[in-house]
Homo-oligomer: A and B are copies of this chain.
Amino acid sequence: MKIELTPIGIIHSPFRNPAGSPIQPSGAKGVKGSIEIFEEYRAGLRDLEGFSHIYLLYHFHPSTGYNLSVVPFMDTRPRGLFATRAPKRPNPIGLSIVRLDKVEDGRLYIQNVDVLDGTPLLDIKPFAPQFDAQQEVRAGWLEQITSNVAEAKSDERFK
């Protein structure tokens, strides 16, 4: 069984290269970008501006292949792929929560952008605390990591 997807827009950001990019939106605070939504989907943007934060689902487009064991950016030990956010995955779909500043003429103006310029957008979902906030969270290997995600940068390892 195969599932076929088509981009609904293109994400623009200051990042042209994986190396040196922030590894998560929390490492890209204040980084501005925009999303061009293709004309045929723009009617679906109504009411979106009321949300301060949105999920972006996108295609990790430079990614090909994957390893089920990876050394994450903030770690020195190999971890199971699904316990990481590494971009090379069996289904290379990225997930980021960004701040939404404005919607104008089919363009979304966003902040905290951690994705590469030219990334194909697949879906937008509103972020809502009543759905998405969680209590009593344990964050596995990430809890033992002392390096600061706000300062961690991508390198060439998932190229």
Contact = CB atoms under 8 A, between A and B. Distances in A.
Contact of A134 (B5, B69, B85, B127): B127
Given A47-B141, A142-B128, A41 B134 contact: no
Interface residues of A, number: 64
Contact of A3 (B6, B69, B85): B6
A8 B2 CA distance: 11
A46 B79 contact: yes
A7 B132 CA distance: 24
Contacts of A83: 44-48, 50-51, 126
Total copies of this chain within the assembly: 2
A16 to B, nearest CB: 19
A68 B32 CA distance: 27
Specify the main secondary structure of chain A where it touches its partner: mixed
Given A26-B131, A47-B83, A52-B138, 20 more contacts: A3-B7, A3-B122, A43-B80, A44-B68, A44-B80, A46-B79, A47-B80, A48-B82, A48-B140, A50-B139, A51-B83, A52-B136, A53-B134, A57-B57, A57-B95, A82-B125, A95-B125, A127-B137, A130-B139, A130-B149
